[in-house]
Amino acid sequence: MSDADTRLFATPAGVRLCPIDQIADGKARNFVLQMRAGRFHGFAVRDGDQVAGFVDQCPHAGLPLAQQLDDYLTPDGSHIRCSWHGAIFRRDDGVCVGGPCVGQRLTPWPLAIADGWIVTAAQSD
C-alpha cells in the first residue's frame, strides 16, 4: 500500500475547503483531501452560518456513510444517516440515536468559517 492509499483520520488546520455558500443551508458535502501521508475523507453539514464536520466513517461497520456523493442526511434533513445499515446520528455532535450503534458517535472533524470560507480547524483536546 502506498502513502497515497493510506486512510487518514485528521487534517492540519488552515486548509481552505470551499466558500460556505457552495453548501446549501441544511445540506451536507463530501470532501476528500489528498495529503503527503495519505487521503482523508470527511464531510461538512451546514446550518446557517455554522458548519459541523465529521470523518466519513460509520462507527458501526467502518464504511463511509454515503453510498451516493453528498447523500449524508435523512430525507427530511434532520439527521445524518448511514446509508448502509440505517444508523441515525445527530447533526450537531454526531451521536448515534438510532440503528445498530446507538450511543456511539461519528469522529468529529474540526471546521471553522474564515472570511466566508470553510476551513479545517485545530483539533481540540
DSSP 112: E
Residue-wise pLDDT tens digits, 73-120: 999 999 999 999 999 999 999 999 999 999 999 999 999 999 999 999
Residue 28 has, within 13 A of its CA and on its CB side, a CA count of 28
The more confidently predicted of residues 124 and 2 is 124
**What residues pair up with 32 in beta bridges, in sequence order?**
41
Please state, in angstroms and as integers, the Cα–Cα distance from residue 57 to each residue in 13, 19, 113, following that order: 20, 24, 23
Quote the cell numbers at residue 72: 449524508
Domains in the chain with CATH codes: 3-10+17-106 (2.102.10.10)
Please state, in angstroms and as integers, the Cα–Cα distance from residue 82 to each residue in 14, 19, 97, 121, following that order: 28, 26, 12, 25
pTM of the model: 0.92
